[in-house]
Amino acid sequence: MIKIYHNPRCRKSREGLQIVENSGKEFEIREYLKELPSEEELSSVIGLLKIKPIDLVRKNEAIWKESYKGKELSDSEIIKAMAENPKLIERPIVIHNNVAVIGRPPEKIQQIL
Protein backbone atom coordinates (compact mmCIF):
# COMPACT_ATOMS: atom_id res chain seq x y z
CA MET A 1 0.00 0.00 0.00
CA ILE A 2 1.10 3.57 -0.68
CA LYS A 3 1.66 5.89 2.26
CA ILE A 4 1.83 9.67 1.94
CA TYR A 5 3.12 11.92 4.69
CA HIS A 6 0.85 14.88 4.09
CA ASN A 7 0.27 18.42 5.29
CA PRO A 8 -3.09 19.66 3.94
CA ARG A 9 -1.97 23.30 4.33
CA CYS A 10 0.94 22.83 1.90
CA ARG A 11 0.27 23.33 -1.81
CA LYS A 12 3.01 20.88 -2.89
CA SER A 13 1.66 18.29 -0.48
CA ARG A 14 -1.87 18.72 -1.88
CA GLU A 15 -0.49 18.36 -5.42
CA GLY A 16 1.32 15.19 -4.34
CA LEU A 17 -1.84 13.79 -2.80
CA GLN A 18 -3.69 14.45 -6.07
CA ILE A 19 -1.07 12.40 -7.95
CA VAL A 20 -1.46 9.54 -5.47
CA GLU A 21 -5.27 9.71 -5.71
CA ASN A 22 -5.11 9.74 -9.52
CA SER A 23 -2.99 6.58 -9.50
CA GLY A 24 -6.10 4.59 -8.61
CA LYS A 25 -4.07 2.57 -6.11
CA GLU A 26 -4.90 2.03 -2.47
CA PHE A 27 -3.18 4.52 -0.17
CA GLU A 28 -2.99 5.76 3.38
CA ILE A 29 -2.65 9.42 4.39
CA ARG A 30 -0.43 10.24 7.33
CA GLU A 31 -1.07 13.78 8.56
CA TYR A 32 2.24 13.94 10.37
CA LEU A 33 1.48 17.28 12.08
CA LYS A 34 -1.46 15.64 13.88
CA GLU A 35 0.01 12.15 14.31
CA LEU A 36 3.64 12.87 15.12
CA PRO A 37 6.23 10.43 13.79
CA SER A 38 8.66 8.91 16.28
CA GLU A 39 12.42 9.15 15.91
CA GLU A 40 12.46 5.48 14.90
CA GLU A 41 9.83 6.06 12.21
CA LEU A 42 11.73 9.05 10.84
CA SER A 43 14.95 7.01 10.78
CA SER A 44 13.16 4.32 8.80
CA VAL A 45 11.73 6.83 6.31
CA ILE A 46 15.15 8.48 5.90
CA GLY A 47 16.60 5.04 5.16
CA LEU A 48 13.98 4.43 2.47
CA LEU A 49 14.68 7.87 0.99
CA LYS A 50 18.42 7.04 0.95
CA ILE A 51 19.33 10.53 2.16
CA LYS A 52 21.03 12.11 5.16
CA PRO A 53 18.68 13.39 7.88
CA ILE A 54 19.68 17.00 7.15
CA ASP A 55 18.32 16.57 3.60
CA LEU A 56 14.81 16.08 5.01
CA VAL A 57 14.88 19.33 6.99
CA ARG A 58 13.00 22.43 5.85
CA LYS A 59 15.82 24.85 6.57
CA ASN A 60 13.74 27.99 5.96
CA GLU A 61 11.38 27.25 8.83
CA ALA A 62 11.62 29.72 11.69
CA ILE A 63 12.10 26.88 14.19
CA TRP A 64 15.21 25.72 12.33
CA LYS A 65 16.66 29.21 11.96
CA GLU A 66 16.04 30.12 15.60
CA SER A 67 17.06 26.89 17.30
CA TYR A 68 19.33 24.81 15.07
CA LYS A 69 20.91 26.76 12.20
CA GLY A 70 24.69 26.98 12.40
CA LYS A 71 24.99 24.30 15.09
CA GLU A 72 26.96 21.09 14.65
CA LEU A 73 24.24 18.44 15.00
CA SER A 74 24.58 14.67 14.75
CA ASP A 75 22.16 12.71 12.56
CA SER A 76 20.32 11.54 15.67
CA GLU A 77 20.01 15.12 16.94
CA ILE A 78 18.56 16.22 13.59
CA ILE A 79 16.07 13.35 13.66
CA LYS A 80 15.11 14.26 17.22
CA ALA A 81 14.57 17.89 16.15
CA MET A 82 12.21 16.76 13.37
CA ALA A 83 10.33 14.41 15.72
CA GLU A 84 9.85 17.25 18.22
CA ASN A 85 9.09 19.85 15.51
CA PRO A 86 7.42 18.04 12.60
CA LYS A 87 7.03 21.33 10.69
CA LEU A 88 10.72 20.83 9.90
CA ILE A 89 9.98 17.73 7.78
CA GLU A 90 9.98 18.20 3.99
CA ARG A 91 6.72 17.18 2.39
CA PRO A 92 5.11 15.33 0.88
CA ILE A 93 6.88 12.02 1.36
CA VAL A 94 5.44 9.06 -0.52
CA ILE A 95 6.37 5.45 0.19
CA HIS A 96 5.45 2.57 -2.12
CA ASN A 97 6.98 -0.93 -2.24
CA ASN A 98 9.74 0.04 0.25
CA VAL A 99 10.83 2.94 -1.96
CA ALA A 100 10.32 6.54 -0.91
CA VAL A 101 10.54 9.97 -2.53
CA ILE A 102 10.11 13.53 -1.40
CA GLY A 103 7.49 14.96 -3.75
CA ARG A 104 9.39 18.13 -4.66
CA PRO A 105 8.53 18.60 -7.40
CA PRO A 106 5.33 16.54 -7.01
CA GLU A 107 5.96 14.81 -10.35
CA LYS A 108 8.74 12.80 -8.66
CA ILE A 109 5.97 10.77 -6.99
CA GLN A 110 5.00 9.23 -10.33
CA GLN A 111 8.43 7.55 -10.49
CA ILE A 112 7.52 5.14 -7.69
CA LEU A 113 3.86 4.55 -8.50
Going by C-alpha positions, the residue among 10, 36, 1 that lies closest to residue 92 is: 10
In whole angstroms, what is the distance from residue 108 CA to residue 83 CA? 24
Note the pLDDT of residue 66: 96
Q: Record the pTM.
A: 0.94
Task: Show pLDDT as tens, one digit a residue, over the chain (113 residues).
Answer: 999 999 999 999 999 999 999 999 999 999 999 999 999 999 999 999 999 999 999 999 999 999 999 999 999 999 999 999 999 999 999 999 999 999 999 999 999 99
Do β-strands 93-96 and 27-30 pair in parallel, antiparallel, or remain unpaired?
A: unpaired
Q: Report domain extents, the chain.
A: 2-112
Note the pLDDT of residue 10: 95
Tens-place pLDDT, residues 22-41: 999 999 999 999 999 999 99
Query: Which of 3.40.50.970, 3.30.420.40, 3.90.1170.40, 3.40.30.10 is the CATH number of 2-112?
Result: 3.40.30.10
Annotated catalytic residue 25: no
Going by C-alpha positions, the residue among 91, 97, 22 that lies closest to residue 56 is: 91
Secondary structure, 3-state, 36-99: CCCHHHHHHHHHHHCCCHHHHECCCCHHHHHHCCCCCCCHHHHHHHHHHCHHHECCCEEEECCE
Given 2, 3, 10, 110, which residue is catalytic? 10
